[in-house]
Amino acid sequence: MTNNYPNTVEPNHEGTLEERALARLIANRRTGYDPFYKYNYEYSIPSQGRYHWQWFWDSCFHIIALARLSPAMAIAELDSLLTPQQENGFVGHLTYWGRRGAVMSAIYGQSRFGEWRRRHSGMIQPPVLAHALEEIWLQTGDTEVLRKFLPKVRAYYDWLNRERDADDSGLIGIVSPYEAGTDNNPSFDRELGVSNPSRNGILWANRKLDWYNIVRGKNFDYRTLIERNRFVVIDPFMNAVYGDAWSSLERMHEVLSDTEPAASARSQAAKTTAALNEHCWDEGRGHYTYLHGADQIPDTTLSVGAIFPLILKDAPKDRVSSVMERYVTNEKHFWRPFPIPSVAASEDSYNAESEAMIWRGPICMNLNWLLARGFKSHGYTHESKRISDRSKEAAFEDFREFYSPETGRGMRGTKFGWATAAIAIDG
C-alpha cells in the first residue's frame, strides 16, 4: 500500500517547522496489510534506516505532533497502535507489522515465548497513551474519537495498575531499562550489574536480561521477577508519567460524563502522586530517587527522573519550588543552554556529546514536551517558554533522536519522528 498524503516540502530543508515536521512524518509513513490481524496498518516509523517497526512511545509522540498537523493521520496511527491490544488491556512496547512480523518477533527476543505470531513485544514503555488521545481531543474536539478509543486506553492503564503495582502502593515497576525508554540511563547501572559500562557492555547486559525475563521471569511476569529479584525498579520518571496520565484520563472521562471512571482516575492520580512523595523523595538531597530491587533500595543518581514528578498537577508546592530552584534552573545541574538534559551536568556520568551511550546527557523532545507542559501548569511560564524556544531552535536544524544540551547539535538517529513533538511544546 502507498499513502496519499501530500509532501510539498523537504522534511529538513524548506518551509516552517510545522511544514517540515509533517513532511518528515509523511516520509516516515508505512502502510501495509498484516495477515495475523487481518488489518491495514498505518504508522510512522521512528527513523528511516534504523527503526522499521512501531514503537509504543514513539507512536504516541507522533500522534501528539500529528494531532496539530494532520488529525486523520494521528487517529490512524492510534488505531494501529491499539489493534494488537490484548483482551486484558496489555499493549506491548513494539509491534512487528507485516508478513515477516512473527519471525522478527522471535529474532528480537523481547516477545513472550509462544506469542510470536502476535508480532508484539512482552514489555511496556512510558505510558503516554492517554496523553496522545487527549491531545487529539484537545486539537479536534471530536467526542466520537473519545468514545471509540477511551475504553481501550483506559483498559491499558487498568492493566498497568493490576499487573505492575504489586503491593497496591500506587507505583508501577519496570523489569528492563528498555521499559523506561531511557535505555542507558545511569540510574539503572547498579541494578543492571554494570559500572561505567561501554556501549557493547550495556547492550550485552540488556540482551541477557531480555532472555532472563522470558525464561526465568515467566514471560516478563512482574511478580515472578520481584521474587527472583533480578531487575525490578521503581522509576520516578515512569511513575510521574503514569500519574499524569491518570489525570488525563480523568479529564477525558469527564468530557463524556463518565462519572465513576472519572472519580477512580482522579483517585489513582492522587494515589500515585502521594506514593512518589512518600517512597521516592529524598529529604536530604531534595529530589526524587529510583528504587532498586525487591527491597526498593534508593539510587540517588541525579538523572531526569529525579525531577520528573514535578509534572504532576498535585505535586506539593514546596517541593516543586525547591526542586525548580535547587536543580531544574541551576546551571550546575539541569539548566544548560538547551534544557533539559537527561542527566544533570553535575553527575560524573554526564556526557552531553555522546552518541554511543544515549540517555547520559543529551536532551530529547519527548521529555521536553512533558516537562514544559508540567512546569507551565505550576506557573513556571518563563522556564516552560525557554524549553519550548530552545527545543524548536534545535529541531529546526534537523529532526534527530537527541540533541546536545550544550550546543543544540543534533545527535544519533537521523530523520527522527519523535523530534517533531517540538512543534507541540508550548511555552
What is d(CA 369, CA 334) in angstroms, rounded to the nearest whole number?
Answer: 16
Phi, psi of 288 (to 5 degrees): -85, 155
What is d(CA 345, CA 354) in angstroms, rounded to the nearest whole number?
Answer: 13
C-alpha cell at 253: 472521562
Region for 219 from its dihedrals, namely left if φ exceeds 0, alpha if ψ lies in -120 to 50, beta otherwise:
left
**Model confidence at 38: pLDDT above 60:** yes
Residue 1: its pLDDT value, please?
42
C-alpha cell at 421: 513533538
Q: pLDDT digits over 213-228, tens only? A: 999 999 999 999 999 9
The domains located in the chain, with CATH, are 1-120 (no CATH), 141-317 (1.50.10.10), 329-427 (no CATH)
What is d(CA 307, CA 151) in angstroms, rounded to the nearest whole number?
Answer: 31
Residue 356: its pLDDT value, please?
86
Strand ranges (E), 100-242: 233-234
- Report the pLDDT averaged over residues 162-173: 98
C-alpha cell at 198: 561501554
* Residue 2: band (very low, low, confident or very high) from pLDDT cuts 50, 70, 90: very low
* Residue 8: band (very low, low, confident or very high) from pLDDT cuts 50, 70, 90: low
- Report the pLDDT averaged over residues 268-291: 98
What is d(CA 167, CA 364) in angstroms, rounded to the nearest whole number?
Answer: 32
The one-letter amino acid at 141: G
Q: pLDDT digits over 147-161, tens only? A: 999 999 999 999 999
What is d(CA 406, CA 357) in angstroms, rounded to the nearest whole number?
Answer: 17
Residue 403 parent element (H or E): strand 400-403
- Report the pLDDT averaged over residues 398-403: 96
Q: 292 has which bridge partners?
A: 233, 297
Contact 223, 195 (CB under 8 A): no
Burial class (CB in 10 A: 0-12, 13-18, 19+), 185: buried
Contact 348, 342 (CB under 8 A): no
Other residues' Cβ atoms within 10 Å of the Cβ of residue 300: 14
Contact 152, 85 (CB under 8 A): yes
Contact 422, 12 (CB under 8 A): no
C-alpha cell at 88: 486484558
What is d(CA 136, CA 368) in angstroms, rounded to the nearest whole number?
Answer: 19
Q: pLDDT digits over 101-153, tens only? A: 999 999 888 999 988 999 999 999 999 999 999 999 999 999 999 999 999 99
Strand ranges (E), 184-326: 233-234, 281-282, 287-288, 290-292, 297-299
- For cell 532472563, name the residue: 212
**Model confidence at 14: pLDDT above 90:** no
- Report the pLDDT averaged over residues 334-342: 98
Strand 281-282 with 54-55, pairing: unpaired
DSSP 262-295: HHHHHHHHHHHHHHIIIIIEETTTTEE-EEETTT
DSSP 353-372: T-SSSTTSS-B-HHHHHHHH
Q: 39 has which bridge partners?
A: 34
The one-letter amino acid at 58: D
Please state, rounded to an integer, the average pLDDT across all residues of the chain.
Answer: 95
The one-letter amino acid at 404: S
* Residue 296: band (very low, low, confident or very high) from pLDDT cuts 50, 70, 90: very high
Give the contacts of 388 (CB within 8 A, at least 6 positions apart): 368, 372, 425, 426, 427
Contact 187, 305 (CB under 8 A): yes
Residue 7: its pLDDT value, please?
53
What is d(CA 217, CA 221) in angstroms, rounded to the nearest whole number?
Answer: 6
C-alpha cell at 50: 534504523
* Alpha-carbon distance values, 190 to 193, 298, 418 (Å): 5, 11, 29
* Residue 3: band (very low, low, confident or very high) from pLDDT cuts 50, 70, 90: low
- Report the pLDDT averaged over residues 286-304: 97
Contact 252, 146 (CB under 8 A): yes
- For cell 543529551, name the residue: 362
C-alpha cell at 59: 507512536
Per this entry, what is the length of the chain? 427
* Residue 12: band (very low, low, confident or very high) from pLDDT cuts 50, 70, 90: low
Give the contacts of 141 (CB within 8 A, at least 6 positions apart): none
Strand 410-414 with 290-292, pairing: unpaired
